[in-house]
Homo-oligomer: A and B are copies of this chain.
Amino acid sequence: MTIPKRSRAQLRAIQIDEIKRVAKVQLVTKGVSGVSLREIARDLGLVSSALYRYFSTRDELLTALILDAYNELGEAVEKADASVVCDDTFGRWRAACLAIRQWASAHPHEYTLLYGTPLLDYHAPDQTIAPASRVTLVLGRIVGDAHRRRPPSAIPTGNEDVTSWLNVSNLAQALPGVPTLYYVRALIAWSEIFGFLSFELFGHFKGSIIDYEKAFSHVVEELANFVLY
């Protein structure tokens, strides 16, 4: 019998996946504070110092979990957007927003890891930027498509200079075809989606909202009227 020989690089990749797998179980069941290197090592039949061959610090492991979570969420939202016909910008908006909430409800601890208190004090590593942008880019594209379908005569204009306090070049890329006047509204809609979900998951709506799903769908509708038209 020939034992399938795996190269050291392959074994290393497998071990990294194993560590992340066990860490994710702890994250799901006990939250981010319950992710313990020593317990991961015990689960894998290793000694704790062995883990440092793969992640040089606990924060580095958590960063890997953050990356995976951003990509999971991003993929879910991209799929939801793609499942609606391109011209139906309102339908796409709603599908994308509902996908965000669905993912957050299904993965509250992962959501908390992404949008709760940041662990890496106030400077996320650069590698998280791209995965974190996936959701934002989908929402921005939908808003952009909605405004591009508007007749030129109906394009609202403002005369305020926004360049001193908004990063217009970045926003223009994320919101292609959206009039500058709407940049603030887009930022509001974006942060409100996550503000609402954070309030929901963190318990601030307790006593105000009974059916969160229904309330959220109304919020999504109000926001659509606010940014799309």
Contacts and interface: CB of A to CB of B under 8 A. Distances in A.
A112 B112 CA distance: 13
A209 B166 CA distance: 5
Contacts of A165: 209-211, 214-215
A198 B196 contact: no
Given A210-B164, A214-B165, A118 B187 contact: no
Interface string A53-80: 0000000000000000000000000000
Contact of A211 (B164, B198, B199, B223): B164
Interface in A159-189: 164-167, 170-171, 174, 184-185, 187-188
A202 B226 CA distance: 25
Interface residues of A, number: 47
Q: Which residue, A31, A32, A198, has most C-beta atoms of chain B within 10 A?
A: A198
Interface stretch (A2-10, A91-99, A121-129, A147-155): A121-129
Interface of A: 31-32, 112, 115-118, 121-124, 129, 132, 164-167, 170-171, 174, 184-185, 187-188, 191-192, 194-196, 198-199, 202-205, 207-211, 214-215, 218-219, 222-223, 226
